[in-house]
Amino acid sequence: MTGQPASMVYTNTEGGLMSTVAALCRPIKGCSKHVLLVHKNAQQPILYGHRAAPRDCKTEKVVWDDLNDLTNTLHSLTEGKKQKKSYITLVLTLPPASPCNHNTTLEPLFTALLPLRRKLHGLTILLDCSSPPSYPSSEPLSTELPLPEALHYLATELRARILVFGSFYQGLGLNGAFLAGDGALIDELRYTSRFYVFAAAPPPFMMGMVAQALGGE
């Protein structure tokens, strides 16, 4: 579906997203500063993920509003010689039932990031395609996944590590979620993110997983 080299699955969408973000908030070797950039309307599991990460990871959460605000934030994070060792993890939530191709969604992001990429120690982009619809619906609502060509372009031109998180319910009507992307990063998260699913997930997520395992609603 995504054309990515590696993938993994979670039995619970919210817990999977939370644990993925928590695991990404780890210290980066050779980097003096790690910043997690999230949208002001980010899903709660994303915010819970940052809170679940150990405090000694010292990953700073920065909230952005729109593309202009994101661009200004990136400029402020890359100003000065001391900021050249900054590592950025950007979480971008893609709305359901809307096109997500390079021209409409990813190209403006690419334009904002490209001039600043050389000033960063590294860049990870997590594309969250699991956002639920803003209105009640009894039917699965499909989110168009990013085109593989667009993801490859971002990865090569920005030298970024790309991850795509999606829900099996949207489009398939099945429980669970998937994470696809950079092979080395998936191999790392396959082990580190599992810890947060069982050890650091908020009670509602855990209770939902237990109910699902028992065949409840």
CA 165 from centroid of its chain's CA atoms: 7
pLDDT band at 53 (very low <50, low <70, confident <90, very high): confident
Averaged pLDDT of the chain: 76
Q: Quick check: 37 and 78 in contact, CB under 8 A?
A: no
Q: Any idea which residue has 């009894």 for tokens?
A: 138
Express each pLDDT in 84-120 by its tens digit: 578 999 998 876 554 444 445 667 777 778 887 888 8
Angle between helices 183-199 and 13-24 (to 10 degrees): 110
pLDDT band at 63 (very low <50, low <70, confident <90, very high): very high
Edge-first strand listing for the sheet containing 122-129: 6-10, 177-181, 161-167, 122-129, 86-93, 33-39, 60-64
Distance CA 95, CA 78 (A): 29
Express each pLDDT in 161-182 by its tens digit: 989 888 876 656 667 888 988 8
What domains can you pick out in the chain, each with its CATH number? Answer: 6-213 (3.40.640.10)
